[in-house]
Chains A and B, each alone.
Chain A
Amino acid sequence: TVIMAAEKAEMDALKKECDGLRAQIEAARKAVNDTTMTAAANGVAPLGRVQLKLRKSLKGHLAKIYAMHWSEDSRQMVSASQDGKLLVWDTFTGNKLVAVPLKSAWVMSVAFAPSANLVASGGLDNICTVYNIKAASPKTLRELDAHTGYLSCCRFLSDSEILTASGDTTCVLWDLETGKQKMVYTNHIGDCMSLALSPDMNMFISGACDSLAKLWDLREGTCKQTFSGHTSDINAISFFPSGNAIITGSDDCSCKMYDLRSDQEVTDYTDATLNAGVTSLALSNSGRLIFAGYDDFNCHIWDSLKGEKVGVLSGHDNRVSCTGVPADGMGVCTGSWDSFLKLPAMIQDCGADWVILGHSERRHVFGESDELIGQKVAHALENDLGVIACIGEKLEEREAGTTEEVVYAQTQVIAVGKILFALKLIIGKNDALIVLSFSHCIIMLELKRCCVTENVNDWEKVVLAYEPVWAIGTGKTASPEQVTTEKEERGFGCFVSKRFR
C-alpha cells in the first residue's frame, strides 16, 4: 500500500502537470489569435464561380475505387480498386499502361514513387506492398509487414524510403532496401487515416480517428504539434503549398485550415447544406482552391482564403473516395465508389428481381474471390435485389476434409456485408438448397454457436444455395445425408426445426 500511495501521488502530480500544460498551450494560442483567416482575407477579390470541364472519364475498374495518386510527371496516375487491381493510366490518352494484380483485394491506399519506377499499395491485409512497374510485368519488390492494423495511406519519399499510416494508430518510415522499419511515429490514440509530406520533406502530417492532426519531425520521430477542433475522424489531410499551413477533411462534414506557425485553426470550411463527411482533398497549385470529395457523391471546391464554396464537380454516382491534383496543377482527378454500383441498376432494368452470385464457375473459372462475392451480395441487397448466393466446396476440399472451413468462409464473407437473412429450409427438386438468414456479423458469430437469430421479421431476401462444386457434371450428387451432415456439424438442425416453413 505504501507503493500504491506513492504511485498514486506521482499519477496525481503528472495529471496536474498535464492539465497545466494544456491550459498553457490554450492560453498561448489565444494570445496570438488576433484575427481569423476569413476576416483577414476580407479585402481579397472573390473568385466568382469556378467551373471545371470534365475532360476524361477513366473506365476500367470493376469495383469501388478507393485511392488514386498522380505521378510527378503529371501525366501518369495510379488508381486502386477493390476489384483487386492497381491500374496505371496515361491521363492524356485515357489508356491503361499497367495492371497490377493484388494479393489482397481490400486495398485502401496507393502511391506513386517520384521516380515513377515504383508503386505501393495496402489495405486490410496490414501490409504495404511495393511493386516495380518498370519490369516487363509488374514485380513485387517488397512486402512491408509490421503494422498490426490496416494500411490507410502510403507515400514514397524516394525509391528507398516510404511512409505508411495505419489503423494500428502509428505511422512508420520504412527502408525499402532492407524492408525494415526505420522509425515508428506513435502518439495518436485512434486509427491513422491519412498522411502528407511537407514540401521540404523534413516533416509530415497525419490525420486520425481521434479527430486530431499531428505534425511530425520525420528524422527525429517526434510529434511536434497537435491540432484539435474536429469532432470526428479526420479522413484527409494535405499541406498548403508554402508548407506553413495544413488542410484537413473530416467525418464531421467540415474541412479546416490550421496554420503551423500560429499553432491553431485559422479557417473552418463548413456549409449548412453539406451534411456529408469529407473523404479526400487536394489543393490547386497556388493553394487558393481546395477540392474536397464528400460522401454526397460530389467534389466541392472551396476558396481557401475566404472560406467560401466556389464550385462543385458532380458526375459521380457514389461517394467520392479520392481526389488528386498533379504536380503541374493542370487538372484534378476524382475517384469514386460508383464504378461498380451502376451494375445492379442495369440488372433491374432488365426486369430481374433476383441475382445469382458466387456461382461456382464465377469463383473457379472467373476467379472471383469470396470477398468480391460478399461485396456484390451486399450491393445487390442495397439495391433491393434478392440474392441467391451460392456456396460450396471443391472435390479436393471435400476429400481433404476442409468442407466446413470452406463453406463457413464463404458464408461469413456474405454475412459480413450487413445482410438480413432468415433461416429456412426448402425441400424441392434440388435436394441441396438451404436458406440461411443472418443479421449483422456480430449475430453471425452467435450463429456459429447455434443461437437463433433475432431478425426474422422481414421475408428473407437471400437464399444460400449449397452447391458443392464436386457434384457438378461429375456424375456424383450431394446426397441428403451429406447435406444433413453439413447442417448438423454447424448446428443448422436446430434452426431448421424452429424455423421450418
Chain B
Amino acid sequence: MQERSGFAQCQFKHSCLKVEMSSKTLSSGSIAQARRTVQQLRREARIERIKVSKASSDLMRYCGEHAKNDPLLMGIPTSENPFKDKKPCTVL
C-alpha cells in the first residue's frame, strides 16, 4: 500500500480483501472458483490475435487520418476558440 498525503485514498483504496484460491481449504467453494477461472482462461485463450505490426500500422493510420480534426494537435485560430475570454469592444 503506497503512502499518500491524502487520508481518503489510504482509507478506501484497499478496503477489499483479495480472494485467494487456497488449496488448503478443499471446500466446494474453492473448486467452484477454480472451475470459473478455468472457464475464463479458456474464453481468453481462444481469441484470434493479429500481429502487433498490423495493429500498430492501423493505429498510426487512424492518427494520421484524424490529425486535421484534432484541435489540440493542430491548434485553433483565436477567432474560433470558444474558451478564450472575450474582451468587450470599445467604441472610440
Contacts and interface: CB of A to CB of B under 8 A. Distances in A.
A143 B2 CA distance: 32
A52 B72 contact: yes
Interface string A181-192: 000000101110
B70 A34 contact: no
Nearest to B3: A418
Interface in A225-282: 225-226, 232-233, 240-242, 244-245, 251, 259, 261-264, 266, 277
Range of interface residues on A (Cβ < 8 Å): 35 or more
14 contacts: A11-B34, A14-B35, A28-B49, A55-B84, A92-B83, A150-B12, A169-B19, A190-B16, A190-B18, A259-B59, A261-B55, A289-B70, A319-B6, A418-B10
Nearest to A418: B7
A64 B6 contact: yes
Contacts of A284: 70, 72-73
A305 B64 CA distance: 11
A481 B35 CA distance: 64
Contact of B5 (A24, A124, A382): A382
A217 to B, nearest CB: 10
A35 B10 contact: no
Given A56-B83, A263-B49, A418-B7, A11 B56 contact: no
B59 A416 contact: no
Nearest to B2: A251
Interface of A: 4, 7-8, 10-11, 14-15, 17-18, 21-22, 24-25, 28-29, 31-37, 40-41, 44, 47, 50, 52, 55-56, 64, 75, 82, 91-92, 106, 108, 124, 149-150, 167-169, 187, 189-191, 209-210, 222-226, 232-233, 240-242, 244-245, 251, 259, 261-264, 266, 277, 284-289, 295, 304-305, 319, 325, 328-332, 337, 375, 378, 382, 416-418, 441
Nearest to B80: A330
Given A14-B34, A21-B45, A241-B66, A37 B52 contact: yes
Contacts of B8: 64, 82, 106, 124, 375
* Closest CB pairs A-B (n = 10): A40-B56, A286-B66, A286-B70, A21-B41, A55-B83, A259-B55, A14-B34, A284-B72, A285-B70, A262-B55
Contact of A191 (B2, B15, B42, B69): B15
B42 A55 contact: no
Contacts of A304: 59, 63
B72 A41 contact: no
Contact of B59 (A47, A226, A244): A244
A285 B67 CA distance: 8
Contact of B63 (A24, A64, A266, A286): A286
Contacts of B11: 416, 441
A389 to B, nearest CB: 15
A266 B55 contact: yes
Contacts of B18: 189-190, 210
Contacts of B35: 14
Given A55-B85, A169-B16, A222-B43, A329 B52 contact: no
B72 A329 contact: yes
Nearest to A91: B83
Contact of B38 (A18, A64, A244, A331): A18
Interface residues of B, number: 59
B51 interface: yes
B57 interface: yes
B71 interface: yes
A259 B55 CA distance: 7
Contact of A75 (B2, B30, B47, B82): B82
Contact of A167 (B7, B16, B38, B48): B16
Contacts of A225: 44, 47
B13 A289 contact: no
Contact of B71 (A8, A50, A226, A328): A328
B26 interface: yes
Contacts of B7: 375, 378, 416-418
A189 B19 contact: yes
Contact of A35 (B4, B30, B52, B72): B52
Contacts of B2: 232, 251, 277
Given A284-B73, A418-B7, 15 more contacts: A40-B52, A40-B56, A56-B83, A124-B8, A169-B19, A191-B14, A223-B43, A225-B44, A244-B59, A261-B50, A262-B50, A285-B70, A330-B82, A331-B72, A375-B7
A378 B19 CA distance: 33
Contacts of A441: 11
Given A209-B14, A286-B63, A11 B23 contact: yes
